Chain A
Amino acid sequence: MNLLLLFISAAIVNNFVLTYFLGICPFVGVSKKVSSAVSMGLAVMFVMTITAAVTWLIYHLLLVPYHIEILEYVSFILVIASLVQLVEMFIKKVSKPLYDTLGIFLPLITTNCAILGLALFSVLREYSFVESLVFGIGAGAGFTLALVIMAGIREELELSNIPKPFRGAGITMIVAGSLALAFMGFAGLISM
């Protein structure tokens, strides 16, 4: 039951994008079309889940026993960078069209704050292995959700008459603000 609450909390109540501002770059960059938003979201979710597991193992089995927690950031980011490389090679092999759609944003998952943020949060909140795994899946699902909603809105925005200076990033931020406001309605649903 607790795990279910943790999942909902990470996915909706404390949405990574809309409450912690993690993963804003791809949120602005890849949210123009619903289809690419879905694939980006799934790629991030996949990397997040693996990252959650691997960084937990590294932190608790390697860094803590040898008292080298100071290497936390360096080791986490190295793990994430190599994982993203693996995923990139995998997608390139399996689906070339998908690889072309994701383009530059695939390697950029490395510098997606959401992934490192996830690893840091699970250490900070002292999650167990299973908890961090669920947290990773939930956060990934939340990221996908926010990205897809945003892409849906932006497809509609293409047709509307927006003041010129606000076209592109400006209006995206303002829409994100309204979305964040809507998501605040979930606050208090679960207190964690």
Chain B
Amino acid sequence: MAKKPIPLSKEFLKGLWDDNPVLRMLLGLCPTLAVTNSAINGLAMGLATTFVLISSSIIISLLRKVIPHQVRIAGYIVIIATFVTVADKFLAAYLPEISIALGPYVPLIVVNCLILGRQEAFSSKNGVGRSIIDGLGMGLGFIFVLVILGSIREILGSATLFNMQILGDWFNPWMIMILPPGAFLTLGLLIGLGNWVNERKVKI
């Protein structure tokens, strides 16, 4: 336990910017890059990941004194995989279109380093309440980046946003943005931008 407790609000806010999972810690990059060819896919992926993150945080922080230290990683993964199965079947049943669009990247939430990383770094050492707050903050930070990335790529690549026409006929969509290279380029620029903003903040 930490000697001086960090206020809960800080626990929550750190996920949004200072420790943003994607831009600052470079966790969970695979889904970030793979499904953000449209804003709606990014949002769905972010929500699914947040659901898995919070649910497994709750279970793992409750069981943190029960799970033996040596097999903890395997234990965490089994718990995470269980919730991913739940999320996957839920999407397939209620939102079949999104489930097809996300394809194998929903089951791949199991190996999202963001989730396992938070369990190892946070939930295994903190109580349920704090773990939920932490998961919520991290999840929102993740959704934030995914939606931004998806929006940029969708506007430039298909001239739409959430499937609504944004740019007129004069705009010739950049096909490259919805293809794999566009994902790498946009994320690279976003990471650079994040670092730049942070540097300015420190100076001021």
Contact = CB atoms under 8 A, between A and B. Distances in A.
Given A74-B82, A81-B73, A181-B181, A120 B108 contact: yes
A171 B27 CA distance: 17
B111 A111 contact: yes
Interface string B153-183: 0000000000000000000000010011111
B113 interface: yes
A72 B108 CA distance: 12
Given A25-B29, A165-B199, A174-B185, A116 B180 contact: no
B191 interface: yes
Nearest to A70: B85
A67 to B, nearest CB: 15
Contact of A173 (B30, B77, B179, B188): B188
Contacts of B188: 166, 169-174, 176-177
A26 to B, nearest CB: 10
Interface of B: 26-27, 29-31, 33-34, 73-74, 77-78, 81-82, 84-85, 88-89, 104, 107-108, 110-113, 116, 176, 179-185, 187-189, 191-196, 199
Which label, helix, strand, loop or mixed, suits the secondary structure of the A interface? helix
Nearest to A24: B29
A112 B111 contact: yes
Contact of A170 (B82, B111, B182, B191): B191
B127 to A, nearest CB: 25
A155 B84 CA distance: 38
Interface in A18-73: 18-25, 28, 70, 72-73
The 3 lowest CB-CB distance pairs between A and B, nearest first, are A173-B188, A177-B184, A165-B195
B104 A174 contact: no
18 contacts: A21-B30, A21-B33, A21-B34, A24-B30, A24-B33, A25-B27, A28-B26, A73-B81, A77-B77, A78-B74, A111-B111, A120-B107, A164-B199, A170-B188, A177-B182, A177-B184, A177-B188, A178-B181
B192 A21 contact: no
A106 to B, nearest CB: 13
Interface residues of A, number: 45
Contacts, number: 126
Nearest to B104: A120
A5 to B, nearest CB: 21
Nearest to A124: B104
A117 interface: yes
A121 B179 CA distance: 20
B77 A19 contact: no
A87 interface: no
A181 B85 contact: no
A25 B113 contact: yes
A27 to B, nearest CB: 9
A87 to B, nearest CB: 15
Given A21-B34, A117-B108, A74 B85 contact: yes
A180 interface: yes
